Chain A
């Protein structure tokens, strides 16, 4: 059985092979990179952020406390801080003393929190099956009733009703696991 995220992090300080780090990277690099890219809109910067996040993760692995949150939440928090740093570096113009750019405006912070949430929701939706994602998309974003979805997709109304309920239950479980909402 594959080790849990928390087990991987717990093993990181003793990992000399890089195997635990590689596994953690494979589990999370995609969504963290997507989040960083979304926030920074610069591929190279986003890749640097991802590098820094995993470097920090192995250096600070001993500080991770599973009682305070999941590994995903911990990695997102590190990513969020790295993004703030990357933006701060970008905001430091030649001639501007570094301490002048020390504080980020509050709205940037809040905007970043929204970006985290948005990206986590996008990541959660991608974990649904295409059928489940589609009924949520049509009902929530498309504003269609289940009857209209049934007609549009050419499937029985009863199937759409149960599929929608399963989709929402699954989404709730995924978000619970991700510690969102």
Chain B
């Protein structure tokens, strides 16, 4: 759509009511008969009302923390893996290979029995966002929890820890206050860590995960200094 050569540059100010009174009146008369300005003004006429809904102090959207993106991608990969093994897909395969169904079922059964003794993931899982107990630290972590025959498998991603290979220990804390160790891990030079750990306690028997610094107990405590803590969300 072309622009009105004589009044096109006044359209914005007119819609905002920001022209001088004489210009406003002149523009009002012009818009009524101009085939270019008329439709353009109508298209813009809702803008002042929309601008009223925003506050001038509204700031550009802040960014979510980087681990959110990682958590989403991890969740995506995990669900893709699960989907690949979904019962629906197995049923479809059986339809296409009806004659081999019995054999497939038998093979699946045998494999399942064999794998069951290992750390096969079940469908139950929970996540915990771990944050520092004191506000001075910027460390954060996300733990993805799965039930395995041995207890709990915890996939951990942590950021903002002390760098240079500092040692940390993961704990699952039961409601009765008992701390069950999930093992230790080291941070990278940049203070990040990715680890897969196992604790001898079932998800559901505990609701809190704590990460402590150091593999040895702090003075007066049965464990190291807590640096991150979070509740499981199922």
Contacts and interface: CB of A to CB of B under 8 A. Distances in A.
B12 A164 contact: yes
Contacts of B131: 44
A141 B52 CA distance: 8
Interface of A: 16, 18, 21-22, 25, 29-31, 33-35, 37, 44, 46-48, 50-51, 54-55, 58-59, 114, 117-119, 121-123, 125-126, 135-137, 139-141, 144-147, 149, 158, 160-169, 171-172, 175, 180-181
A165 B55 contact: no
Interface stretch (B40-48, B114-122, B152-160): B40-48
A126 B46 CA distance: 19
Contact of A146 (B8, B18, B43, B56): B18
B10 interface: yes
Contacts, number: 144
Contacts of A118: 53-55, 58
Interface of B: 8-13, 15-16, 18-20, 40, 43-44, 46-51, 53-56, 58-65, 68-69, 71-73, 75-77, 79-80, 129, 131, 233
Nearest to B72: A54
A30 B48 CA distance: 25
B50 A165 contact: no
B61 A31 contact: yes
Given A122-B58, A171-B47, 19 more contacts: A21-B73, A22-B73, A29-B63, A37-B62, A47-B129, A118-B54, A121-B50, A122-B60, A136-B51, A145-B19, A147-B20, A162-B9, A163-B12, A164-B16, A164-B18, A165-B12, A166-B12, A175-B50, A181-B47
